[in-house]
Chains A and B, each alone.
Chain A
Amino acid sequence: MTRPRVLALWGVFVCLPLASASRAQADAPAAAPQPRAAQESGEMAQRREHWAWQPLAAVEPPAAGHPVDAFVADALRARGLEAAPAAAPHTQLRRLWFDLVGLPPSPAAVERFLADPSESAWLREVDALLASPHFGERWGRHWLDLMRYCETLGHEFDYELPNAWRYRDYVIRALNADVPYDQFVREHIAGDLMDPPRRDAEGRNESVQATASWWFPEQTHSPVDAMQHQADRIDNQIDVFGKAFLGMTIACARCHDHKFDAIPTRDYYSLFGYVQSSRYVQAPIQPVAPNAAPYRRALALQRDLAAAWRAGPAEAAAPAAAPDASPGRGFALRPEDVRIADADEAERGWYLTGDAFGDAPWAEPFCPDPTAEKPRLVSLPGRFWVSAAAGPRREGTLATRSFPLEHRYVHVRTAGDHSRLKLIVDGLHVVRDPIYGSLHRNIDRPDAHWVTFDIEMWRGRTAFLQAIDQREPDLGDPRHNRGRYPDKTWIAVQVVCTSPHRQPPTTADGPAVLELDRARSTPQLDAALTAFAAAADALPVSPTVPAMADGSGIDSYVYLRGSHKNPGQAAPRAFLSAVAAKAAPAAQSSSGRLQLADAVLSPGDPLPARVLVNRVWHHLFGRGIVKSVDNFGALGDAPTHPALLDWLARDFRDHDWSLKHVVRRVVTSDAYRRTSGVQAASQPSDPTNALVHRQNVRPLEAEIVRDALLSISGSLDPQLYGRSIEQPREAITDARGKPGHHDPLDGKGRRSVYLAVRRNFMNEMMLAFDQPTPFATVGRRNTSNVPAQALALANAPLVHELCRRFADRVLAHSDDPTERLQWAYKLAFGRLPRAAELARLLPFVEAPGDEREVWFDALHALINTTEFRFRR
Chain B
Amino acid sequence: MTHPTDPRPDGLSRRALLRQAANGFALLPFADLIGRQSTGGAQVRHHAPRARSVIFLYMDGAPSCQDLFDYKPRLVREDGQKFGLPMEPTQFNNRGNTLGPCAKFAQHGESGQWISDLLPHTARMADKLTFVRSMYADFSEHTNANYFLHTGHGLQGRPSMGAWIGYGLGTEAEDLPAFCVLNGGLVPPGGVDNFHSGFLPAHSQGSLFAMRGDAVANIKPRESDRRQRSKLALAQSLDQLAMAHDGADPALEAAVRNQELAFRMQTAVPDLLEIQGETPATLEMYGLNSDYEQTRTYGRQCLLARRLVERGVRFIELTCADTGGDRWDQHSGLKHKIARNCKMVDQPIAALLYDLEARGLLDETIVLFGGEFGRTPFAQGRDGRDHNPFGFTMWMAGGGFRPGVSYGATDEYGYKAVEKPMSVHDLHATILWQLGIDHERFTYRFGGRDLRLTDVYGDVIPELLA
- Chain A interface residues (CB < 8 Å from chain B): 88, 91, 154-156, 158, 218, 220, 222-224, 232, 236, 239, 243, 249, 252, 260, 434-435, 457, 628, 630-631, 633, 635-636, 675-678, 697-699, 733, 735-736, 759-762, 764, 767-768, 770, 773, 775-777, 782-792, 794-797, 800, 834, 836-837, 840-841, 844, 857-858, 860-862, 864-867, 869-870, 872
A776 partner, pick from B231, B232, B238, B447, beta carbons under 8 A = B447
Instruction: Judge if B5 is at the interface, Cβ distance under 8 Å.
Output: no
New A-B pairs, 16, CB < 8 Å, besides A733-B191, A786-B203: A156-B143, A220-B141, A224-B89, A434-B91, A675-B247, A699-B255, A735-B191, A759-B156, A785-B258, A791-B219, A791-B265, A840-B238, A858-B234, A866-B252, A867-B238, A870-B252
A236, B153: Cα distance in complex, Å: 13
Flag if A457 contacts B93 (CB, 8 Å). yes
B221 partner, pick from A88, A218, A733, A795, beta carbons under 8 A = A795
Measured between beta carbons, the chain B residues less than 8 angstroms from A435 are 91-93
Measured between beta carbons, the chain A residues less than 8 angstroms from B252 are 697, 866, 870
Chain A nearest Cβ from B327, distance in angstroms: 11
Chain B nearest Cβ from A689, distance in angstroms: 11
Query: Given the interface contacts A249-B449, A789-B258, does A762 sit within 8 Å of B192 by beta carbon?
Result: yes
Flag if B235 contacts A865 (CB, 8 Å). yes
Measured between beta carbons, the chain A residues less than 8 angstroms from B168 are none
Flag if B247 contacts A736 (CB, 8 Å). no
B235 partner, pick from A239, A767, A861, beta carbons under 8 A = A861
Name the residue in A155, A789, A791, A870 with the highest tally of chain B Cβ atoms < 10 Å from its Cβ: A791
A866, B249: Cα distance in complex, Å: 11
Flag if A155 contacts B190 (CB, 8 Å). yes
Query: Given the interface contacts A784-B203, A787-B262, A796-B218, does A866 sit within 8 Å of B448 by beta carbon?
Result: no
Measured between beta carbons, the chain B residues less than 8 angstroms from A786 are 202-203, 258
Chain A nearest Cβ from B37, distance in angstroms: 19
Measured between beta carbons, the chain A residues less than 8 angstroms from B193 are 154, 759-760, 773
Closest to B177 in A: A787
Chain A nearest Cβ from B42, distance in angstroms: 14
Query: Given the interface contacts A675-B247, A775-B156, does A791 sit within 8 Å of B448 by beta carbon?
Result: no
Measured between beta carbons, the chain A residues less than 8 angstroms from B157 are 773, 775-776
Chain B residues numbered 250-266 whose CB sits less than 8 Å from any CB in chain A: 251-252, 254-259, 261-263, 265-266
Measured between beta carbons, the chain B residues less than 8 angstroms from A735 are 187, 191
Query: Given the interface contacts A224-B91, A699-B255, does A857 sit within 8 Å of B231 by beta carbon?
Result: yes
Measured between beta carbons, the chain B residues less than 8 angstroms from A837 are 238, 241
Query: Given the interface contacts A857-B227, A869-B255, does A773 sit within 8 Å of B249 by beta carbon?
Result: no
Chain B nearest Cβ from A75, distance in angstroms: 22
A744, B234: Cα distance in complex, Å: 31
B191 partner, pick from A699, A760, A857, beta carbons under 8 A = A760
Instruction: Judge if B3 is at the interface, Cβ distance under 8 Å.
Output: no
A24, B205: Cα distance in complex, Å: 54
Measured between beta carbons, the chain A residues less than 8 angstroms from B242 are 865-867
Flag if B91 contacts A243 (CB, 8 Å). no
A223, B389: Cα distance in complex, Å: 13
Flag if B256 contacts A232 (CB, 8 Å). no
Query: 26 A-B contacts, Cβ less than 8 Å apart?
Result: A154-B143, A154-B191, A156-B143, A222-B91, A223-B144, A224-B141, A434-B91, A675-B247, A678-B247, A736-B189, A760-B190, A767-B205, A768-B217, A776-B157, A782-B201, A782-B202, A785-B251, A787-B177, A788-B262, A790-B261, A791-B266, A840-B237, A857-B227, A864-B259, A866-B239, A867-B242
A770 partner, pick from B189, B192, B202, beta carbons under 8 A = B202
Contact-residue size bin, chain B (C-beta under 8 Å from the other chain): 35 or more
Instruction: Judge if B10 is at the interface, Cβ distance under 8 Å.
Output: no
Measured between beta carbons, the chain A residues less than 8 angstroms from B220 are 795
Query: Given the interface contacts A788-B207, A790-B261, A791-B262, does A764 sit within 8 Å of B217 by beta carbon?
Result: yes
A861, B259: Cα distance in complex, Å: 12
Measured between beta carbons, the chain A residues less than 8 angstroms from B247 are 675-678
Instruction: Judge if B294 is at the interface, Cβ distance under 8 Å.
Output: no
Closest to A260 in B: B448
Chain B nearest Cβ from A267, distance in angstroms: 15
Instruction: Judge if B245 is at the interface, Cβ distance under 8 Å.
Output: yes
Chain B residues numbered 152-181 whose CB sits less than 8 Å from any CB in chain A: 154-157, 177
B144 partner, pick from A220, A633, A736, A841, beta carbons under 8 A = A220
Closest to A837 in B: B241
B190-211 interface bits toward A, Cβ cutoff 8 Å, 1 = contact, 0 = none:
1111001011011101010000
A697 partner, pick from B93, B156, B249, B261, beta carbons under 8 A = B249
B140 partner, pick from A224, A759, A791, A866, beta carbons under 8 A = A224
Instruction: Judge if B90 is at the interface, Cβ distance under 8 Å.
Output: yes
Closest to A769 in B: B202
Instruction: Judge if B222 is at the interface, Cβ distance under 8 Å.
Output: yes
Measured between beta carbons, the chain B residues less than 8 angstroms from A790 are 255, 258-259, 261-263
Instruction: Judge if B246 is at the interface, Cβ distance under 8 Å.
Output: yes
Closest to A248 in B: B448
Flag if B143 contacts A635 (CB, 8 Å). no
Closest to A457 in B: B93
Measured between beta carbons, the chain A residues less than 8 angstroms from B156 are 154, 218, 759, 773, 775
Chain B residues numbered 319-372 whose CB sits less than 8 Å from any CB in chain A: none
B43-56 interface bits toward A, Cβ cutoff 8 Å, 1 = contact, 0 = none:
00000000000000
Flag if A865 contacts B239 (CB, 8 Å). yes
Flag if A223 contacts B141 (CB, 8 Å). yes
Instruction: Judge if B445 is at the interface, Cβ distance under 8 Å.
Output: yes
Flag if B255 contacts A791 (CB, 8 Å). no
Flag if B238 contacts A678 (CB, 8 Å). no
Instruction: Judge if B439 is at the interface, Cβ distance under 8 Å.
Output: no
A840, B230: Cα distance in complex, Å: 12
A767, B243: Cα distance in complex, Å: 27
Counting from the closest, the 3 A-B pairs by CB-CB distance are: A677-B247, A775-B157, A631-B448
Query: Given the interface contacts A155-B143, A677-B246, does A785 sit within 8 Å of B254 by beta carbon?
Result: yes
Measured between beta carbons, the chain A residues less than 8 angstroms from B196 are 773
Query: Given the interface contacts A158-B191, A697-B251, A784-B203, does A220 sit within 8 Å of B239 by beta carbon?
Result: no
Flag if B141 contacts A862 (CB, 8 Å). no
Instruction: Judge if B228 is at the interface, Cβ distance under 8 Å.
Output: yes
Instruction: Judge if B142 is at the interface, Cβ distance under 8 Å.
Output: yes
Name the residue in B140, B216, B217 with the highest tally of chain A Cβ atoms < 10 Å from its Cβ: B217
Flag if A699 contacts B251 (CB, 8 Å). yes
Chain A nearest Cβ from B249, distance in angstroms: 4
Instruction: Judge if B248 is at the interface, Cβ distance under 8 Å.
Output: yes
Chain B nearest Cβ from A319, distance in angstroms: 45
